[in-house]
Amino acid sequence: MANRTCIKIVLFIFIYLLVTVYGGKQQIKICMKQPDMPLTIREEDWKIKYLEIFQKFIEEKAKDDKRLNNYEIDIYLYPYSEFDKNKAENQILVLYYMEDLIVKLQKKEIDILILDDDILFSEMSLFESSDVFKILKSRYPSLDYFQDLSKYIKKEDLSFHDPKILSGGIYEDKLIGIPYEHDFNVLFYRLEEPNSKAYNDTQLYLENMEKYTWDDLIKQIYINTQELKISLINDNDLLNFFIEYASNHFNLSREYDPDILKLFYNETFTDFYKSFHDIIKSISEDKMISNTFKITLDYLFGMYMYNNSTFFKGKASHNILFKLMNKKVSNNTDNIIPLTLPPKYQSVNTHKYLVVNKLSEINPEILAKIALIITSKEAQLERADVLGSIPTFDFTKKDSDPDLQNYCNENSEICNAMDKMKKIYLKDIFKPDKLVPFFEIESFLPIAIRHYLIKKDPSYVEQTFKNINEFITDRLEHPYIKVISPTFCEIIVAGCILNLIEVMKYLPPYSAVKIKIFTLVGALSTNMIYIPMFAVTFRIFHIFRTKSLKNNVLIKRKLLIIDIMRTMIYYMIYIEDIL
């Protein structure tokens, strides 16, 4: 009897496992960062809402494509705030964050990833970084680990996206990232009783915000005996605020000045650094700048709610907090979202992209279809309504697009802000074509800025800007590079090409003229190869002998070699004429 019971139990377990493994749906794991205010926004509620939205639209599309019925979505909220908070001092956060993600990609724990624009393609540059390969074991992780979706998605399906945002996910005609979400910095103000002092003060700020600089705004806040605090615990927030503050005082457009970064290590820039230091100190808790690097957005939002801060500096996507509160606020019957753009209406814009794990075991065509569904116009509008996210739409078409019109009718403050905003894109200021990779900028520059704010010594941050801007451009003129001058290398390459052409002398037809020509080519190619090699060797010998790297000596040697080559060429032509 006992044996029969055991057999039944084993049989039941076997059938259960068989049904579970072969009869269940295959899971697609989507990874995204946890909310940046984890104490204010309950992660589990957030996750449930995301799942409901994703599953809703996938089920609708499954009516036309039955294959989608075989899959279900699961979401992993990456604990980035904990990762950021626990990082070691001066740790390259972006690389170690990517390292952790890549481990999960390699283990196939993630099929789809929602990635920030400051990480996607951040390793791409004219000069590669050794840190990328050393830590990530890949020269181009954005290409090695993320699927090229242009094989599965038509361009017409993406036409509703803002072209600027769409281009950020494309590399050399390869669609790596699909625009998922847009965001920008804003200030949320308090809704005060009309005609009260606090109300009049707030109206003064709003009326003058486009004219104010950050200095003007903070000065006026303290004149009105009010408070303003901001969070700089996150490296990206610190860099964004630094650039917004600098943009108040200088035109940082590369169209205006292609070499604009030189401004940051110019001797006349000392006053700027001092004023930036003073402004951070004035808004720090107990006037201790180090406290600003510890304050979280959750803490600031609590201060705002308890009327201890005039503004809450957050993201446009935080509007969902105010939408939820509107039902409870008696003096906000019009459902106003109380937001304004930062001073001068200048705001750093950020984007998120959906990328697909190239190593995933799930059919990439299915993953591309899922990606297209959850980034569709309908899904973005749903997320905007339920979660407060900002769509990646091309709002220049809102007059002709009913969906955009409906969105702007329901979110008029957001659309008005986008119309007035002077957008700042960090990657446009730090273009990587002649700079170090962007990940190095976003890794080391915040460290340098933080170091300056605490030590009040601008030399470190100035040197960092100089390294960023001149790492490549100035080194092209550096004596070390001149030792193996590109000119000599070009002559050697040209000589090798001529040497390869020389084999054609063995092919018919044969003639005396052909013999003379190829005799000249042979002599010329030999000289073009060996004389520059001698020049490089001599220059290295000269440096070791004299311990001098003076450019004028090197230039004279170059001219001497050119004169020798010219003399030999004339001599060979003269010999040919005699023949």
The tens digit of pLDDT for each residue in 126-135 reads: 777 777 888 8
Which pLDDT does position 433 carry in this prediction?
66
pLDDT interval class at 176 (50, 70, 90): very high
CA distance linking residue 545 with residue 537, whole number of Å: 12
- Domain range 21-183+351-407, CATH architecture: 3-Layer(aba) Sandwich (3.40)
Which pLDDT does position 532 carry in this prediction?
79
pLDDT interval class at 21 (50, 70, 90): very low
Give the closest residue to 29 by CA, choosing from 81, 78, 65, 63: 78
- In the predicted model, is pLDDT for residue 20 greater than 50? no
Contact 482, 554 (CB under 8 A): yes
Return the residue matching tokens 């104010």. Answer: 212
CA 552 to chain centre: 42
CA distance linking residue 505 with residue 501, whole number of Å: 8
Does residue 509 have a cis bond before it (omega within 30 degrees)? yes
How large is the average pLDDT for residues 113-127?
A: 88
Residues 498-553 have pLDDT tens digits of 888 888 888 888 888 887 788 778 777 887 788 778 777 777 776 667 655 554 45
pLDDT interval class at 578 (50, 70, 90): very low
Total residues belonging to the chain? 579
Average pLDDT of the residues of the chain: 83
Which pLDDT does position 416 carry in this prediction?
94
- In the predicted model, is pLDDT for residue 355 greater than 90? yes
- In the predicted model, is pLDDT for residue 89 greater than 60? no
How large is the average pLDDT for residues 253-270?
A: 84
pLDDT interval class at 565 (50, 70, 90): low
Q: Half-sphere exposure (CA, 13 Å, Cβ side) for 553? A: 14
State the pTM of this model.
Answer: 0.80
Contact 120, 169 (CB under 8 A): yes
CA distance linking residue 65 with residue 8, whole number of Å: 40
CA distance linking residue 416 with residue 355, whole number of Å: 30
- In the predicted model, is pLDDT for residue 247 greater than 90? yes
Which pLDDT does position 19 carry in this prediction?
42
Residues 77-86 have pLDDT tens digits of 988 765 555 5
* The residue type at 362: I
- In the predicted model, is pLDDT for residue 18 greater than 50? no
Q: Give long-range contacts, CB 8 A cutoff, 24+ apart: 220-225.
A: 221/310, 222/282, 224/310
Hey, where are the domains in the chain? 21-183+351-407, 203-348+423-468, 478-578
- In the predicted model, is pLDDT for residue 571 greater than 60? no
Give Rg (Cα) of the chain. 31
Which pLDDT does position 419 carry in this prediction?
94
Least confident piece of the model among 32-41, 91-100, 256-265, 419-428 = 91-100
Residues 356-414 have pLDDT tens digits of 999 999 999 999 999 999 999 999 999 999 999 999 999 999 889 999 999 999 999 99
* The residue type at 348: V
Contact 358, 144 (CB under 8 A): yes
CB neighbours of 266 closer than 8 A, spacing ≥ 6?
none
Which pLDDT does position 386 carry in this prediction?
92
Which pLDDT does position 218 carry in this prediction?
93
